[in-house]
Amino acid sequence: MTLAVQKVLAPAAGESESRLNLDVVFTTLEPTLAALKKAGALASRLNGRITLVVPQIVPYPLPLKTPPVLIEFNERRFHVIASQCPVAMTVRIYLCRDPAETLAAVLKPDSVVVLGGRRRWWPTAEKRLASKLRRVGHKVIFTETE
């Protein structure tokens, strides 16, 4: 895996590593907002924090350091999302080719991952990603939206 860029927004300064960390994986906007809402409720009850992990896919014709969506645009968008969260949140943006491979590399072992997706009777990309994360040992909380 070639990981070119990792951008960190709103790092939690002075946070202790002993606090519970909930990793929310960005899929699409609406399901991710639902996942952030659920993670925020859990983190506030358990005195935890949230890390929003954003794997930004760069197609193969483009160099890995030049994504089709400007990094500055995503930084602004996720800064707005992070500022509305009542719990301490860090946003990590990763430029990558394969999101599942990137998540396997950047998530700590046995992470608690909150993932959002649309409610469908067939296996969606989000549900397949949740299954992959469970298979490698992460605890996954899947939030469905209509």
DSSP labels, 37-72: HHHHHHHHHTT-EEEEEEEEE--TTS-TTS-SS-HH
> What pLDDT was estimated at residue 69?
86
Where would I find the beta strands (DSSP E) of the chain?
6-9, 21-25, 49-57, 89-96, 112-118, 139-145
> What pLDDT was estimated at residue 9?
67
Q: Which of 95, 101, 96, 81 is nearest to 24 (CA)?
A: 81
> What pLDDT was estimated at residue 24?
96
Could you list the pLDDT tens digit for every one of the 146 residues in the chain?
A: 445 466 676 554 555 555 789 999 999 899 999 999 999 999 999 889 999 999 999 998 899 888 888 888 988 998 888 888 888 899 999 999 999 899 989 999 999 999 999 988 888 999 999 999 999 999 999 999 88
**Structural domains of the chain, with CATH:** 20-145 (3.40.50.620)
> What pLDDT was estimated at residue 2?
46
Q: Which of 33, 7, 30 is nearest to 106 (CA)?
A: 7
> What pLDDT was estimated at residue 142?
95
pTM, entire model: 0.85
